[in-house]
Structure 1
Amino acid sequence: MKPVIIKNDAHIRCMRESGALLASVFKALDEYIEVGMTTMDVNDFVEAYITDKLGAIASTKGQYGYPYAINVSTNEVVCHGMPKVSQKIKSSDIINIDVTLKHNGYLADSSKMYVMQEASPLAKKLAKETYQAMWEGIKLVKPGAKLGDIGHAIQSYAERRGYSIVREFCGHGIGSEMHEGPDVLHFGKRDTGLVLQPGMTFTIEPMVNQGSHKVKTLKDGWTVVTKDKKLSAQWEHTILVTENGYEVLTLRYDESLPCD
């Protein structure tokens, strides 16, 4: 079991900086991504922006031998999709772009759904409901809460709307290393699991499927798809447990915190 590392004030300052830089990557990507470009174009843009513009490290590249700066997961791809020169973005696509960035020794990890203009109403609804499912979990983060509370909230929200939660992948602790403790499941039971403490940092990143929760990995060893070939969506933020609640370290310019 990976250790849970409680961050001190200096660590938290570094993670805030990394989170803000990563949020700026998505702002730039919002203005760049368009139908007709290839997913490799997107990868190259993100890598150049992180390294040349921000002076940071595109830390997805090289993680566990992964060769690219982003994961780009389109339509039925659940996660870990690989950019391709041959894959052009279509007007009907929904696409998850997952990016990690390292600056001054600390990481931030986030992903966002890009919903193309001619995506079907059901695809748009899946992306929107997955985003809200993530926030249903985030809203419960505070000292004394348990990880099972977060998982239960996400699972309940998604399943009430007819979706399923992918079981094989979860959120994770993050700091100077990409995968620290704890594992943050997106399903579970209330009042179970690790008790949250101030200074914990982890990701919440539910993967929500239109159909069955079952997935399979393709022959490339990375790309995970839905077994039934129905659509999947995911959103992700890096979260800090504060003294009285939570802070979203990767909050983007186009987002606001929920009122409740």
Structure 2
Amino acid sequence: MIEIKSKREIELMREAGKILFEMHNRLGEKIAPGISTKELDELAEGIMRKLGGFPSMKGLYDFPGTCCISVNEEVIHGIPDRHVILKDGDIVSIDTCTSYHGYNADATRTWAVGEISEDAKRVIRVCQQSFFEGMKQAVAGNHLNDITSAIGNYVESQGCGILREYCGHGIGAEIHQDPEIPNYDMHRKGPKLCAGMTLAVEPMITSGSPICHTRDNGWNVVPDDGSLSCHYENTILITDGEPELLTMPGEDKSLLITLNK
């Protein structure tokens, strides 16, 4: 069942989104060669709490961190680790959730570490743009497949691979709610979009093959061909007009940084 959020619930999610947005931008300023993914995870939690949010992904399904921090070929679910040190030319995706008085927002950003390759720039651009292609369809009266097909068709038109085993989701008092939101054409309309729905839309793509596997730690998802990967996500509120990005209430520094390189 897809929840329609009340005005109070939307306002709490809006506050959670502001906290998460600010956390991502502050954390992005710390990303540089020499820092470990564990240090970034600890910084993220500290920033989140200082801003009044709660790290609601910490311990979820027994995940050992506040953030999934995925480097280069890791698409999703990278485990923060003191021994994983970022170096010049890496790209790093940071995926986490914040709750505010019991209501969640979810967002992922992929950052450049120093000077990155043209292939890395391209996969980041394609992933980010695919999200916005989907967002254009996130309006009341459309159907879920209008979002999912717009994302997948764009990614495939750019020669990149789209993960099919993982998807976005509804969000609210729980991080994962109905509906599941894939990133490809479902070949069916899916649920009708209505004002008050809140959706975490998150393209997960590779610069090569979409065929992936999970590493032996049970978490890290990587493409079989080892190609560079990217993950980008925002929490969207469906309204009676244009969709509202709850996790991008202002200028998104990560988007500007990566697209201007």
Normalised by the length of structure 1, the TM-score is 0.94
Name which of 105, 110, 113 aligns with 2:110: 113
Query: Which residue is equivalent to 1:149?
Result: 146
Query: Which residue is equivalent to 2:258?
Result: none
Q: Distance in 1 between matches of 2:150 and 2:252?
A: 21
**Residues 111-169 of structure 1: CA deviation (Å, up to 9, x unaligned):** 10101232111111110111001100011111111111111111111111111110011
Query: Which residue is equivalent to 2:191?
Result: 194
Equivalence map 1:26-105=2 (5 Å): 26-51=24-49, 53-105=50-102
Name which of 110, 124, 129 aligns with 2:126: 129
CA contact (8 A) 1:134 1:205 kept: yes
- How far does residue 54 in structure 1 lie from its aligned partner after superposition? 1.7
Name which of 233, 236, 252 aligns with 1:236: 233
Q: Distance in 1 between matches of 2:36 and 2:249?
A: 24
- How far does residue 254 in structure 1 lie from its aligned partner after superposition? 2.8
Query: Which residue is equivalent to 1:140?
Result: 137
Query: Which residue is equivalent to 1:14?
Result: 12
- The alignment's C-alpha RMSD in Å is 1.5
CA contact (8 A) 1:147 1:185 kept: no
Whether 1:211 aligns to 2:211 is no
Normalised by the length of structure 2, the TM-score is 0.94
Name which of 161, 166, 172 aligns with 1:164: 161
Query: Which residue is equivalent to 2:245?
Result: 248
Consecutive aligned runs of 4 or more in structure 1 exceeding 2 Å deviation:
252-257
Q: Distance in 1 between matches of 2:152 and 2:59?
A: 32
State the number of aligned residues.
254
SS in 1 for 2:88: coil
Structure 1: tracts of 5 or more residues without a match: none
Structure 2: tracts of 5 or more residues without a match: 256-261
- How far does residue 234 in structure 1 lie from its aligned partner after superposition? 1.0
CA contact (8 A) 1:143 1:243 kept: yes
Amino acid paired to 2:12: C
Fraction of identical pairs, as percent: 37
Alpha carbons of structure 1 residues 252 and 219: separation in structure 2 relative to 1, 3 Å: farther
CA contact (8 A) 1:18 1:108 kept: yes
- How far does residue 191 in structure 1 lie from its aligned partner after superposition? 6.3
Q: Distance in 1 between matches of 2:242 and 2:53?
A: 29
